[in-house]
Amino acid sequence: MRLHLLLLLALCGAGSTSGALSYSLGGSWRIRNGNGSLDLLGTVPGCVHSTLFQQGFIQDPYYGFNDLNYRWISLDNWIYSKEFKIPFDSSKWQMINLIFEGVDTVSEILLNNVTIGKTDNMFTKYIFDITNVIRDVNSIELRFQSAVLYATKQSKAYTSREVPPNCPPRVQKGECHVNFIRKEQCSFSWDWGPSFPTQGIWKGVRIEAYNICHLYDFTFVPMYDNKAQMWKLNIQTFFDVISPTPVGGQMIIAIPELKIQKTNNIKLQPGKRTVELSVKINKNIPVETWWPHGHGNQTGYNMTIFFKLDKDLNIERSAKVYFRTVELIEEPIKGSRGLSFYFKINGLPIFLKGSNWIPPDSFQDRVTSDLLRLLLQSVVDANMNVLRVWGGGVYEQDKFYELCDELGIMVRRLKSHPSIIVWSGNNENEIALMMNWYNVKITDLPVYIQDYVALYVSNIRKIVLSSEYGYQSWPSFSTLQTVSSEKDWFYKSNFSFHRQHHQHGNDEMLYQAGLHFTLPQSSDPLRQFKDTIYITQVMQAQCVKTETEFYRRSRSEIVNGEGHTMGALYWQLNDIWQAPSWSSLEYGGKWKMLHYFARNFFAPLLPIGFEDQGIFYVYGVSDLHSDSKVQLTVRIHAWNSLTPLYFTVTKPFVLKAGKAVSIYEQPVNTLLKTCGNCTRQNCVVSFYLSTDRKRVSPTNYHFLSSLKNAQGLLKPQITASISQKGDTFVFALETSAIAPFVWLDVGSIPGRFSDNGFFMTKKTRTVLFYPWKPTTKYKLEQSFHVTSLADIY
């Protein structure tokens, strides 16, 4: 068994610092293009596109075909400038630095007409010594180069060999040579996103001044000593000591809740210095661990680090400390040639349930804390516990990881937070190489393979999970409506083709849907468009549900040498703009049908039905820490009746914690005979788990034939009565017939339902609506629309 033990700590927030001064240069800056024809005021942090939109020079960049119409913005060379007066006497400070947290991307920086540095990496923090350049009144200027033109120039300068891909597929309407610039890769376009190669100061900028010494970074790593049965906290602090003589003093660590206060004497020599300290935590003091969502609490402890140094210099930092262990288990499996691959968190095997995160906007200044919270809350609301941060975007802001820590979301990225469980690399690079996606010359392949091995095998040692999987759908009409006009509202419009960046994607969605459902048939073009959007969401939800449920029921068994699956992360969670994609959350956060399905297929207790060689099986899946005594109820309905033709309830049985086992099997022919006139075409099976007659799982269902062959399916009359209860709205639904895939929509009113896309097999059902912003019963009634499968025929 290979055991990987990663024990990490999250840092959040920082206390005040004496002996140092920080002055922000954020806010209003002057922005002009290369020839000076455009000259306007913009905001830092921000970018050129956002400034032009905010000042009324351009429309919303996302509207219509503006990704093409505004290509000129990315091809120009823009200049950011600002005049400012410093609120301190620079002569009283030994060291003064100009710090850029993020510059996008290629620029020359001048302070008082003196070049102090250059940038060429969007993800790097830049620090420039301006001690001898700064004045009381100053001018600063950043002269940007077009990222598109720079990438092209770099590509031409690299003559050793071709570095594919040169350009994205034409369907993506993107820019070329993105692999020659250290910039957000999807900003040049992707198969789910537009091309907006931005320019600007996209993160904070400030002046920092200090004397004697400065604490510029600190890290923490909690380690669990199995032999001593106790926690230990290793702390590293990093100083810039500008004093010509050593600086002495004390380092004091305090974690009050763990009754820790430790003092160490230190002496800092001139130059860049590191101070390390190890703190043992008394084994008699219980330490509560951090758990992923659904498995326990996300307990953290407040820690303070205080430096009391010579010359009355005091430095204080604070952090939130989380304790947890991570083990990657790779060991032989009986009945398989492979090794296991799963994670233990705090000693417990965890089935990873989640999706893939992409940048939620092309313009990072629009990615607010509120948006991050909304999207990440939707992750845990759908019973997920893990995200993979896609590697072609940006290094997400600290707030993203702080929220993941708080919500219990494990993340595949590199950072010191408890939510981080894996460092991983390589996004489809191996398959691209071996399948020769970019038509590399056969004679050059050995060179590329050698480079691949050097990067990923010798250095990164890639770690992979369950394969990426997913299916496309269109976002809801209310999401598309904000960036389109009436002429765009049909499936074969120029707009529909323009927004689809996956080759033949629109045709593929309809082809797949046509295999299982009757396609929309309305004579009204707008109704036809809305119904087509609906059926693509139904198909996407069903596709991802089917595959995810297969992975979950494969948790505890080996079939033909394969199995013991311990994770399911579908592609993709969120959207970067309003367009068809593989996402379950639309741009802005509205839930697609898939996300509601995910809430069910990722439930901690779940019955999963499937057929194999004419036998109908139900597996019971548990992610719980303790055994559950449950019963399984199986029902059969005719499509034309709300009264079940047959139902059976098993005797109570124990569903083991952390297992997936068969709990029911019956030949389909036998099952059909039990209810009289049932056939595969006129009946449907539903089932759920209960304890003491109380449901403890979602109700699942199994189709005995494709729904396009369903016989007796009626067009239901579904009505809703809406009432308000506190901040929540109650939708009391009533149907005249069985209704598959009932979709409740309130247009552009932000919020989510407690369930959606569900089957109505009873006359009444109550669903809750949780608004994300204040709204009223009247607005909901005016916006409400309900669709079920038979409504589109």
Q: 265 near 308, Cβ under 8 Å?
A: no
- SS3 annotation, 86-112: CCCCHHHCCEEEEEECCCECEEEEEEC
Report the chain's terminal Cα–Cα distance, integer Å: 56
Question: Closest by alpha carbon to 94, among 172, 211, 206, 8?
Answer: 211
Tokens, residue 50: 């956002």
Q: 392 near 419, Cβ under 8 Å?
A: no
Catalytic residue among 468, 508, 562, 734: 468
Catalytic residue among 83, 428, 665, 781: 428
Collapsing DSSP to helix, strand or coil, 581 comes out as: strand
Tokens, residue 215: 């604490």
Tokens, residue 660: 């997936």
Question: Closest by alpha carbon to 476, among 783, 767, 61, 59?
Answer: 783
Collapsing DSSP to helix, strand or coil, 411 comes out as: strand
Q: How far is CA 229 from each of CA 298, 569, 640, rounded to the nearest angstrom?
A: 21, 34, 63
- Residue 147 contacts by C-beta under 8 Å, 6 or more apart in sequence? 74, 104, 105, 106, 181, 183, 187, 197, 198, 199
Evaluated on CA atoms 175, 179, 182, 186, the torsion sign reads positive
- Distance, in Å, from the CA atom of 598 to the CA atom of 542, rounded to the nearest integer, reads 10
Question: Closest by alpha carbon to 496, among 64, 4, 149, 112?
Answer: 64
- Tell me, yes or no, if 406 is annotated catalytic: no
- Tell me, yes or no, if 468 is annotated catalytic: yes
Tokens, residue 177: 């040579």
Tokens, residue 667: 């030949």
Omega cis (within 30) before 667 = no
- Distance, in Å, from the CA atom of 705 to the CA atom of 703, rounded to the nearest integer, reads 5
What's the chain's length in residues?
793
Q: 142 near 471, Cβ under 8 Å?
A: no
Q: 291 near 344, Cβ under 8 Å?
A: no
- Distance, in Å, from the CA atom of 117 to the CA atom of 127, rounded to the nearest integer, reads 9
Separation of CA 438 from chain center: 28
Q: 576 near 588, Cβ under 8 Å?
A: no
- Distance, in Å, from the CA atom of 515 to the CA atom of 536, rounded to the nearest integer, reads 12
Residue type, 188: F
Got the DSSP string for 508-573? HHHHHHHHHSPPP--SSHHHHHHHHHHHHHHHHHHHHHHHHHHHHHTTT-EETTEE---EEEES-S
* Active site residues per annotation: 428, 468
